[in-house]
Structure 1
Amino acid sequence: MRAPVLDLKALQSFVAIVESGSFTAAAKQMNYSQSAISMQLQRLEESLDVALLARTSRQLKPTRAGREALGYAREMLRLNAELRERLSDSEIAGKVRLGLPADFALYLPETLALFAERYPQVEMEVRSELSVTLVKQVTACEIDMAIVTRESSARGGKQLRREPLVWVAAPGSGAYLRRPLPLAVWPQGSCAFRSAATAALDRAGIAWRSAYENQAFGALRATVIAGLAVTVAIPSMVDSELRILQPEEVGLPELPTIDIRLYRSTGRATLAASSLADLIVERVQNIGSYLRDMPALGR
């Protein structure tokens, strides 16, 4: 007897639940009701005859079987999207203008390479600027879309992910003990990371000073590694030469979360631009706990 065919919508809901961390967030992301999401997961678990999620009062995590199923689910959804695109009647062509933060362009090669492979007739133009500049360019229809970082309280754009901000220093460095606190940060008015960090310090009554400013995280990182300052980042930016400081242990304030958002031009989107936007959404939202595909996302 043939095994029953799995429901791709149920698999999509399962992936959304795991990545968002809750049924409520997954329902919002999928534009379903929460009961519909719950029913889809229940049918999927019944079809596979395993429990996919372990539910507690505080956490929602995939079981061992759920972790294994998650990889297959993502691959099945990817193949479904690829098949639809490959069999499309129209040959997608034209030009797409994409904006990425200054330190971001080198850290999304696989997605851009995949798009170029799927749509060889599309000419892609990538601009590397600060997030605030890119948002203005999207608004003015100078570019088709931009991936930017924004404070979670800001409006506009499609939220792709939400990441915690963390204090970062060199291992063994005591820079966090100095007052005023020396910061390696982006120029004032250009960076959601900087404004979030300085606002938190001001609320906590901790004096700070800008010890080093640069638009590139690589330059800021070198200053931090030298023990001259601390900086603020998302965890995926932190490598073995840096360490995350625990606020309660070093006397620094808790930091807010930061959104990674996709802004799109208000003009009529071409088929090429829509295809790139869809691929970006798929790739960014399907990356694990942090943005392993984007280890130096900033500004």
Structure 2
Amino acid sequence: MNSVLLDPRLLRAFAAIAGHGSFTGAAAELNMTQSTISQQLARLEDAVGHGLIDRSARPVRPTPAGERLLGHARRILALQAEAANLLADPAGTQAVRIGVAEDILTPEMAGVFAGFSEWHREVRLDVTTGLSRELARRYRNGEFDVIVIKEHKASTDCRASFAEPMAWFESASAARDWSDPVPLVAFPPGGLYRDEMFARIEREQRHWYIGFTGSSLSSVLVAVEAGMGISLLPCLSTLGRNVRICDGLGMEQSMTVSLYAWETTGRIGQLVSSMTALLANRNARPE
């Protein structure tokens, strides 16, 4: 394809001449001399191999070949203008990468993200949920700007931390006698709660087996509600669910909800402050 044919300067000159019906009007619109307009039209006509404007007509008008090209020329120019306006808008051009434990991404946290995005249209929030240990590893490798994870104890560079009450839960409506071996509802290998479950059951000198493995908090809760086994879970994650604290095992040692961020100033600092305030409010809720 002849690159001259798609030169927007030449197409714009041609469209302006056709629109005004004169070289003079086109030159005034494009702030060019009439000679320059004529030269640009001539270059376009040489590229396509056809005359595009009938210069003998008064007012001048497109030739049959010009009529065929005119609609395409105007669409090309419109698309170019649209692309230029799109690139001139900074919305979503700067990414902030956030990693959060699954039960932290609540409607309230999404509201914090929405409020931040409304004030900072240039920022795109890339949010990833996952297992805390994997999120922490990726944060240390520089893959996230901010993370909120669960851990036993916060590191010294933690920006904020809160206690996370933990307990053993069973179905509230499908009660069972959890005699040995005890079926456990667990997260996949590498999950923090999974290891804690095994350690506690073994300290109790109980026999156990994995009755269900769920890749998400939602799937684990559904399995517990159905009576497929017992599971160690954050108390806040069970609010409104058909589960209850399991007799005999009850409460477990609290874990820590930790927020880490490489920056605490500027826009990221504002987001971190809002997230911290929400986590503090979340921690203060009555169980």
TM band (smaller chain) = 0.5 to 0.7
* Structure 1 CA distance for aligned equivalents of residues 208 and 271 of structure 2: 41
Greater RCO, CA 8 A, separation 6+: 1
Task: Please state how far the C-alpha of 1:160 moved relative to its aligned partner.
Answer: 2.8
Which protein has the larger Cα radius of gyration, Structure 1 or Structure 2? Answer: 2
Q: Does 1:198 align with 2:195?
A: no
What is the DSSP-based 3-state SS (H/G/I as helix, E as strand, rest coil) of the residue aligned with 1:284?
Answer: helix
Match of 1:125 in 2: 126
CA distances 1:60-108 after superposition (whole Å, capped 9, x unpaired): xxxxxxxxxxxxxxxxxxxxxxxxxxxxxxxxx9431111224543542
* Letter of the structure 2 residue corresponding to residue 166 of structure 1: A
Describe the shift of the 1:101–1:279 C-alpha distance in structure 2 as closer, same or farther (beyond 3 A). Answer: same
| Other structure's SS at 2:151 match | strand
1:54 counterpart residue number = none
The residue aligned with 1:141 is 142
- Larger displacement relative to structure 2 (168-177 or 274-283): 168-177
User: Pick from 279, 282, 290: which aligns with 2:277?
Assistant: 282
Equivalent residue for 1:157? 158
Aligned letter for 1:252? L
What is the percentage of aligned positions where both structures have the same residue? Answer: 19
- After superposition, the CA RMSD in angstroms is 2.6
Matching residue's letter, 1:282: A
Contact map agreement 1:185 1:214 (CA 8 A) in 2: yes
TM-score with structure 1 setting the length: 0.58
CA offsets, 1:254-285, max 9 Å, x none? Answer: 411011111224xx667222221122112211
After TM superposition, give the deviation of residue 159 of structure 1 in Å: 4.0
Contact 2:167 2:232 in 1 (8 A): yes
**TM score, norm. by length of structure 2:** 0.60
CA distance in structure 1 between the partners assigned to 2:132 and 2:178 by the alignment: 31
Trace 1:15-34 onto structure 2 (pairs within 5 A).
none
In the alignment, the residues of structure 1 paired with residue 163 and residue 248 of structure 2 have an alpha-carbon distance, to the nearest angstrom, of 25
Partner of 1:252: 249
Q: How does 1:27-176 map to 2 (within 5 A)?
A: 94-107=94-107, 108-152=109-153, 157-175=158-176
Corresponding residue of 2:90:
none
Paired position in structure 1 for 2:258: 261
For residue 154 of structure 1, report the CA deviation from its aligned partner. Answer: 7.0
Q: In structure 2, do the counterparts of structure 1 residues 185 and 278 end up closer, same or farther at CA, with 3 Å as the change threshold?
A: same
User: How far apart, CA to CA, are the structure 2 residues paired with 1:176 and 1:256?
Assistant: 24
Deviation string 1:226-268 (CA, Å, 9 cap, x unpaired) is 111111212211144423225xxx2226411011111224xx6
Deviation at 1:185, TM superposition (A): 0.9
Contact 1:163–1:290 (Cα < 8 Å) also in 2: no
Deviation at 1:113, TM superposition (A): 1.1
**Equivalent residue letter for 1:229:** G
Secondary structure of 2:252's aligned partner: coil
